[in-house]
Amino acid sequence: MTIPLAALHVFCPMHVALDRFGHIKQAGATLHKLGVPQLEGRRFLDVFEVYRPRAVDCMTQLLRTEGRKLHLRLRSGKRTSLKGHLVPDGTGGAAINLSFGIAVIDAVRDYALTSADFAPTDLAVEMLYLVEAKSAAMDASRRLNTRLQGAMLDAEERAFTDTLTGLRNRRAMDHVLTRLGRAEAPFALMHLDLDFFKQVNDTMGHAAGDYVLQNVARIMLDETRKDDTAARVGGDEFVIVMSNSVSCERLSDLAQRLIARISKPVLFDGRECRVSASVGISQSDGTHTDPATILEEADIALYAAKRAGRARFAFYQAGPAEITSMPQNAAAGE
């Protein structure tokens, strides 16, 4: 039974009907969207190249492909690949139904095709919906992962940050010391404690005390390197961890600058806030890296500096008996 050509438009929107000379009598609406001008009347093999099976260059050879899958591509434009199946019409002509095969996703994008451009029973339409749904799900998943990673980084940053001063906190300092200890890397540690800070809080209020702490934090960030860790580890206690080998001369210079700058009075609400700083310094050569021990040694040196008159710094060397204390002018660092 011969299928009317009009029915092919409904069932096969990507068909071509050929006369016995191999010219296109009728082409489906979808094929007209592929950018090929004036399909009807043109020789089929001038519009489409059959590259499998090979050596198909006339209508006679084309009819011999009945029952075999044709692999074709457009001879011009985007040269889109197509699959085809030929059925003779009994009068020397033929009808060929075409499809995009696995290239359907690219074809939909290249030619702005919609579901109306495919046969109602074509599984390609359902596949397109699945691909689109999968793509949307993957995009949503990537966006969610990005947000989660950002939230995780923000949470980690907050977990390692002192909210008042913006410096690292004790947890961050412990993390850095543990890492340096595992790497057996040399480093130096300064333990800094503010002198007379309680008097500022008691006489001028906690807002003034907070302002002083923030000013100290700014000074510490100004005076330290990018790779150093400046942390607030207590109410008015701070620690600086300096990675890599640092000379005693450099540590002494840093301690002097910190003490001199912190000792300068700052104005809060029109009144002067006066504090100074005492500093204890301990060093690790890479073999002596237990964090608790290094902190304890810096703490011992710090209180030796306080006992010696405050606004001073002290190095821990081999034991309490060998601590040296170096005075600094609390007012001007002269």
Q: Cβ–Cβ contacts within 10 Å for residue 12, how many?
A: 22
Largest interatomic CA distance in the chain: 116
Length of the chain: 334
For residue 53, say if its preceding peptide bond is cis, omega within 30 degrees of 0.
yes
Please say whether the beta carbons of 273 and 266 come within 8 A: yes
Helix (H) or strand (E) holding 243, with range, is: strand 237-243
Helices 206-223 and 197-204: angle between axes, nearest 10 degrees: 140
CA separation for the pair 260, 1 (Å, rounded): 105
Q: Please, which residues bridge with residue 99 across strands?
A: 83
Q: Is 236 an active-site residue?
A: yes
CA separation for the pair 54, 64 (Å, rounded): 12
Please say whether the beta carbons of 41 and 24 come within 8 A: yes
CA separation for the pair 311, 195 (Å, rounded): 7
E-state strands within the chain = 15-18, 24-27, 48-52, 69-74, 81-88, 94-99, 187-195, 229-232, 237-243, 266-268, 271-273, 276-284, 312-315, 324-327
Provide the 8-state DSSP code for 289.
-
Instruction: Choose, from 106, 236, 269, 285, the residue flagged as catalytic.
Output: 236
Q: Which of 217, 193, 202, 197 is nearest to 281 (CA)?
A: 193
CA separation for the pair 180, 247 (Å, rounded): 18
CA separation for the pair 115, 126 (Å, rounded): 9
Q: How far, CA to CA in Å, does 87 sit from each of 16, 27, 42, 61, 121?
A: 11, 15, 19, 13, 19
Residue indicated by tokens 């290249």: 110
Q: Please, which residues bridge with residue 239 across strands?
A: 191, 231
Task: Report, as residue numbers or ranges, the catalytic residues.
Answer: 236
